[in-house]
Amino acid sequence: MPRIDRRTALTLAGASVLAMPALRSARAQAQGSAKKLVFGGSIPLSGGAAETGLNVNNGYLTAVKYLNEQGGVDIAGTKYQLELRLFDDASDPSRATTLIQRLLDGNADFFLGSFGSNIVLPTAAITERAEKPMVQAGGGSDQIFNQGYQFVFGMFPRATRQFQSTVAFFKTLNPQPKTFSVIATNDAFSKTFAAGIVKDCQAAGYQLIENYLLPEQISDASSVLSSIRSKTPDMLLCAMHDQNSLLIARQMIATGTNVGLLFQGLGPQLASYREALGKHANGIFYSTYWDQRTTWKDPFFESPAKFAEYYGKNFTRPIAYHVAAGAACIITYVKAMQAARSIDPVKVRDALAATDLETLYGRVKFTKEGDGDAVAMGPSVGQVLKSAGEVVYPAGGKTAELLWPVPAWDKKS
Amino acid sequence: MLALQTILDGLVLGGLYALAAVGFSLIFGVLGVVNLSHGAIVLIGAYFTWFAWHVTGMDPLLCIPPVMLVLFGLGYIYQRGLIQLAVDRSSLLASMLVTFGVALMLRNALVLAFSPDFKSISPGWAFSFLRLGPLTIDLVRISALAASLALLGALAYVLNRTSIGRVIRATAQQELAARLCGVNARHVYAVTFGVSAAFAGASGAILGIVLPFSPPDEANWTLNAFVVVVLGGVGSPSGALLGGLLLGLISTATSQLIGPAFPNVMMFLILVLMLMVRPAGLLGNAFAGTR
């Protein structure tokens, strides 16, 4: 058996180390035959908004990975591979603005949004000034869409318009609720969402009992719940983020605070929320923008079910509607570029403004201010039933029968 | 009756604040170190308890002793291996920067280990409550308050009635004199830090039953502990208890009387006032941190 002496071994090792960059470069050249289409942005992968930020990020990653695996996308006869340049903004708006400015300095032309209106708002101001489009699935506050921005597009209707379909659902209930109270937290999205709730419910003839505003991060809601027990509304409508929603629901159960209907805009969609409340979660209502059982036709993934299947093969994190919304941002961008037959940011912006297409996420159509059309992109109403999230309104997208009236906490099974 | 319910809610919330702050108070009082990683240690206790409850189904209250034991060890090593080095080589200010850096690292380590998703500990009894006439008592919060009082009582006993407690107090009051009497001050500091970490871990276990939690919450718990210490005074369980209860009462009373959006405003207003009027806190003493 031939023996390798120390000198030969060292020579071979050295040669392999030297050859590695050359091999890498050759591989890169082979991949580099298609042009690159770069999407920049920041996303909260850590910090307070990371839970949903990860979902949006996974949506971006899924769409880009899938499209690249299909050989890239064809825009006006040229093949492009998609590339993401996304950085963790740690849920910090000031860090996000620095990152976006750096990406602009690095000549990024197309931007994807972060999660949270407090981050999307300042970053959108920067991309707007630079006349670069931003398509985002993380900011619903009205402030983003009433600044006169031309280059910012959102996958949700603005916050004050997000409740219209839910009020329409309330009107179908029998027995009919008459009164409502609202609990909101003091952040950009929740405050405007709560304003929309109050406006739409009052317009529909429901009587407001109390409108509570809590700090952005809640550690105790006992005094609010005492007040609710003394002036019990038929409906309690909560406008806040996931962790706060869970705290409110837990404290309601643990103090026997019963209302006829509990609606929480964010929270019940998450498996962790439903797991934490167990059987008590059953009957809680929420907004949902997507369900993989719907039958939308997507130009690339074909259907929501196939998208969910592909996602499941590539990610272990449970799928959520923000994943689909994130993927729809990429799909919408690509379709707009194909429609514009260009990757010029201004032409793509014009094509985005004219978008009206069916995707895995549903129909995508923007208002002239850039938020999602309230009818085409408004939410469905979900209800937790047997510890799973189900769509109960509108009738066309229903996945389960509604539980109404909802039993008291101690009567739930 | 609403006033009575507000007081009750405030006391229960205050018990939690007190337990979460006592470790911070002890370290500040004895070592003179402002431990900015305190909230992260509280959260480590919450995550350990969540893990034990989630994997083995163990009752979270039964998890408290093992969590305290583990965190005592980690706290001891943390002080001897890092904080003491920073103090020796530079100053107490350097130790504060070190704890700030450690807090950032721990927060990200928790994200890596447990994901950024919020967690919640919900044992079978988590949703029980009592009705006493018009008063509603959340059993989870009441048991959290009881556990807090028991643990604070135990700490007070250790500090006031045992030889290690006497050694800790002596070192805090006059390090040089304690050394001259043969006390190994470095060991005492590390033990104190270990005890503090153990109590932070215990409060994390209890907070995890009461509130959902996620890694970014660590900053809030450090801040709450700071306010409690400024309010109650440094270095003693009674100061932490008084500060915690006052903070709880201020929080619920502000919420009820002024508006639910204002507890934080009131909390920081009182913090500023206390720092101006009585910087040593209501029960302040002459431990290292207050000199």
| Structural domain range at position A74 | 35-156+292-365
Mean pLDDT of chain A: 90
Query: Considering only CB atoms, which chain B residues are within 8 Å of A223?
Result: 6, 9, 252, 255-256, 260
pLDDT for residue B289 is more than 60: no
How far apart CA B46 and CA B48 sit, in angstroms, is 6
Mean pLDDT of chain B: 87
Does residue A228 fall inside a structural domain?
yes
At residue A30, the pLDDT reads 46
Q: Is A318 on the interface with B (CB under 8 A)?
A: no
pLDDT for residue A204 is more than 80: yes
User: Helices (DSSP H) in A32-116: which residue ranges?
Assistant: 50-69, 93-105
Query: Per this entry, what is the length of chain B?
Result: 291
DSSP category for residue A177: P
Does residue A23 fall inside a structural domain?
no
Coil, strand or helix: which one is B57?
coil
Chain B: closest CA distance from residue A408 (Å): 13
Coil, strand or helix: which one is A158?
coil
Does residue A28 fall inside a structural domain?
no
- Whether residue A225 is found in the same domain as residue A198: yes
Tens of pLDDT along A296-352? 899 999 999 999 999 999 999 989 889 999 999 999 999 999 999 999 999 999 999
Give A189 or A125, the one with higher predicted confidence.
A125
Does residue A76 fall inside a structural domain?
yes
Q: Is B255 on the interface with A (CB under 8 A)?
A: yes
Tens of pLDDT along A23-52? 554 444 444 556 899 999 999 998 878 888
- Whether residue A167 is found in the same domain as residue A247: yes
- Whether residue A305 is found in the same domain as residue A337: yes
Does residue A4 fall inside a structural domain?
no
Kindly give, in sequence order, each residue whose CB lies less than 8 Å from that of residue A63, ignoring residues fewer than 6 positions away.
A300, A326, A327, A328, A329, A330, A331
User: Is A220 within 8 Å of B13 (Cβ atoms)?
Assistant: yes
- Tokens 């071994």 correspond to A9
- Whether residue A283 is found in the same domain as residue A301: no
Region of poorest pLDDT, from A342-356, B4-18, B181-195, B201-215: B4-18
- Whether residue A68 is found in the same domain as residue A165: no
User: Helices (DSSP H) in chain B: which residue ranges?
Assistant: 2-30, 38-56, 64-78, 84-89, 92-114, 139-161, 163-173, 175-180, 185-210, 218-232, 237-257, 263-277
Contact A186 B140 (CB under 8 A): no
Q: What is the mean pLDDT of residues B213-229?
A: 90
Q: What is the mean pLDDT of residues A70-81?
A: 95
Contact A409 B127 (CB under 8 A): yes
- Whether residue A284 is found in the same domain as residue A307: no
- Whether residue A268 is found in the same domain as residue A405: yes
**Residue from B127, B210, B257 whose CB has the most chain A CBs within 10 Å, to mutate:** B127
DSSP category for residue B119: B
Does residue A21 fall inside a structural domain?
no
Give B288 or A321, the one with higher predicted confidence.
A321
Let me know if B255 is exposed, middle or buried by CB neighbors in 10 A (0-12, 13-18, 19+): buried
Q: Could you tell me which chain B residue has the CA closest to the CA of A215?
A: B261
- Whether residue A262 is found in the same domain as residue A308: no
Tens of pLDDT along B236-247? 778 888 888 888
* A-contacting residues in B 89-148 (Cβ below 8 Å): 107-108, 111, 115-120, 122, 126-129, 131, 136, 138-141
At residue B286, the pLDDT reads 44
At residue A69, the pLDDT reads 96
Chain A: closest CA distance from residue B134 (Å): 10
**Residue from B120, B121, B203, B268 whose CB has the most chain A CBs within 10 Å, to mutate:** B120
Could you say which of 1.10.3470, 2.40.50, 1.20.1250, 1.10.287 is the CATH number of the domain covering B2-290? 1.10.3470
Query: Considering only CB atoms, which chain B residues are within 8 Å of A53?
Result: 116
pLDDT for residue A223 is more than 60: yes
Q: Within 13 A of B92's CA, how many CA atoms are on the CB side?
A: 11
CB atoms within 10 A of CB A101: 14
Q: Could you tell me which chain A residue has the CA closest to the CA of B126?
A: A254
- Whether residue A104 is found in the same domain as residue A196: no
Q: Could you tell me which chain A residue has the CA closest to the CA of B262?
A: A215
At residue A26, the pLDDT reads 47
Tally of structural domains, chain A:
2
Contact A47 B116 (CB under 8 A): yes
Residue A8: pLDDT band (50, 70, 90) is low
CATH of the domain at A202: 3.40.50.2300
Contact A46 B111 (CB under 8 A): yes
User: Is A363 within 8 Å of A331 (Cβ atoms)?
Assistant: no
Hey, CA dihedral for A365, A367, A371, A376, is it positive or negative?
Answer: negative
Does residue A40 fall inside a structural domain?
yes
Q: Is A220 on the interface with B (CB under 8 A)?
A: yes
Query: Considering only CB atoms, which chain A residues are within 8 Å of B128?
Result: 254
Query: Considering only CB atoms, which chain B residues are within 8 Å of A215?
Result: 260-261, 263-264
Region of poorest pLDDT, from A18-22, A335-339, B150-154, B155-159: A18-22
**Residue from B118, B122, B258, B268 whose CB has the most chain A CBs within 10 Å, to mutate:** B118
CB atoms within 10 A of CB A333: 26
Q: Could you tell me which chain B residue has the CA closest to the CA of A267?
A: B118
pLDDT for residue A77 is more than 70: yes
Q: Is A211 on the interface with B (CB under 8 A)?
A: no
Contact A276 B140 (CB under 8 A): no
- Whether residue A307 is found in the same domain as residue A284: no
Query: Considering only CB atoms, which chain B residues are within 8 Å of A251?
Result: 138
- Whether residue A195 is found in the same domain as residue A278: yes
Does residue A24 fall inside a structural domain?
no
Return the C-alpha torsion angle A46, A52, A55, A61, nearest 10: -50
- Whether residue A46 is found in the same domain as residue A122: yes
Percent of chain B with pLDDT over 90: 36
